[in-house]
Amino acid sequence: MSEQAPGGRQFSRRRRANVDGGRQHFHKVGVSPEEEGVLLRLAAAQHVTIPRLLVESALASAASETPSERRNAMAELFALHRLLANIANNVNQIAKVANATGEVQSELHATLDAVRRTAGRIDAAIDGLSLP
């Protein structure tokens, strides 16, 4: 189910996959220096080449994200899932000690801060997935 690139690099392919028979049609696009800068920034942010960025952007419907944006969103959500599981484990350990001893550990404040930061990252990830 996970997207695996050659060499075992998960979610990191910059170029599009090869197609049988190759790509038969080519398009040459001229851009100004300012447009080139914007294209470079967008491609770098999505970890793709400029040609891939242009093709994916053009072929994506107006209301949906490109495959690269979707891949990046999935990677961020997987990272948030792992982080949330670690924090839940810490909260469980702190609660277990608090229930057994009646004392609240000093780590409680740091753990709750981590919960708040993670909640903020989840909100940001959801906002990034929202339709325009």
What are the residues whose beta carbons fall under 8 Å from the beta carbon of 65, sequence distance 6 or more? 73, 129
From CA 54, how far away is CA 35, in angstroms rounded?
12
Identify which has the larger pLDDT, 32 or 112.
Answer: 32
Distances (CA, A) of 120 to 23, 39, 126, 127: 43, 29, 10, 10
5-9, 97-101, 119-123, 126-130: least confidently modelled range? 5-9
What pTM, to 2 d.p., does this model score? 0.45
The token pair that represents 129 in the structure block: 């997935």
Per-residue pLDDT reduced to its tens digit, 69-84: 777 777 888 888 888 8
Per-residue pLDDT reduced to its tens digit, 51-62: 888 887 877 765
Domain map (residue ranges) of the chain: 15-59, 64-132
Question: Are 16 and 55 within 8 A, CB to CB?
Answer: yes
